[in-house]
Structure 1
């Protein structure tokens, strides 16, 4: 089971940001130019929902509230969509967030949900609507 989760979640958890990393909608990117999901003109072509599956991703406490809100939003989508549609489009991202929740622990996750900002909500809405896809 741990091996399966490791392939699903590849981001590195950190205590603080690295100023050299590039911020993204879901975390920070440590090496945008050498993405495992290269675009035709270089860089990364993956959806931001894939960031947590990337070894270049870095997650630190400033991301926790946004990611906890995304997790809750995906839970809400599950009740609104046909099961097949939710599984096909959102299940993998939800599994990565579920794993992250377990790694951070209930207290950190609860605090993160309490600290969700308007900016977090707006960013996640854009992400879920596909407005941030490359």
Structure 2
């Protein structure tokens, strides 16, 4: 199994953004053209849920609210979907978010949930519907 397919968080946690990194729906990408999941036309071909499993991903506090909301949304999906479907589709991404939650303080995670914006909600809805996948 490659690291990009692992269910652990491989993203690097940072205090602030690097202007050279490219923003994505879930993190910033440090090397979009040379990732572990090349796209057929170049760049990255991985889904945005896989960003958190990529060593090129960079997460800093501005991402926390969006990722906390995604974690919450995946918890909600777990109660609404067939367990087998949820497991196949969402469990690995949820596990990476659990790992992230363990890496930042409980206070920061709670603050992140309180700071979720309408933009975060809209972006996560698009992500969950598959509208952002390559």
RMSD: 1.0
How far the C-alpha of 1:42 sits from its partner, in A, is 1.3
Q: Could you say which residue in structure 2 is the equivalent of 1:107?
A: 107
Output the CA distance in 2 between the equivalents of 1:122 and 1:30: 24
Identify unmatched segments of 5+ residues in structure 1.
1-5
Q: CA deviation at 1:7?
A: 6.0
Deviations 1:59-112 (A, max 9, x none): 000000000000000000000001000000000000000000000021000000
TM-score between the two structures when normalised by the length of structure 2 = 0.94
Unaligned runs of 5+ in 2: 1-5
Partner of 1:45: 45
How many residues matched? Answer: 129
TM-score by length of 1: 0.94
Moved more, 55-64 or 38-47: 38-47
Q: Where in structure 1 do 4 or more consecutive aligned residues deviate above 2 Å?
A: none
In the alignment, which residue of structure 1 is the partner of 2:90?
Answer: 90
The CA deviation at 1:39 is 1.0
The 10-residue stretch of structure 1 (39-48 or 121-130) with the greater mean CA deviation from structure 2 = 39-48
- Would the alpha carbon gap of residues 122 and 7 (structure 1) be closer, same or farther in structure 2, given more than 3 Å must change? closer
What is the alpha-carbon distance in structure 2 between the residues aligned to residue 103 and residue 8 of structure 1? 11
Distance 2:61 2:102 in 1: 15
Aligned equivalent of 1:33 = 33
Alignment match, 1:19: 19
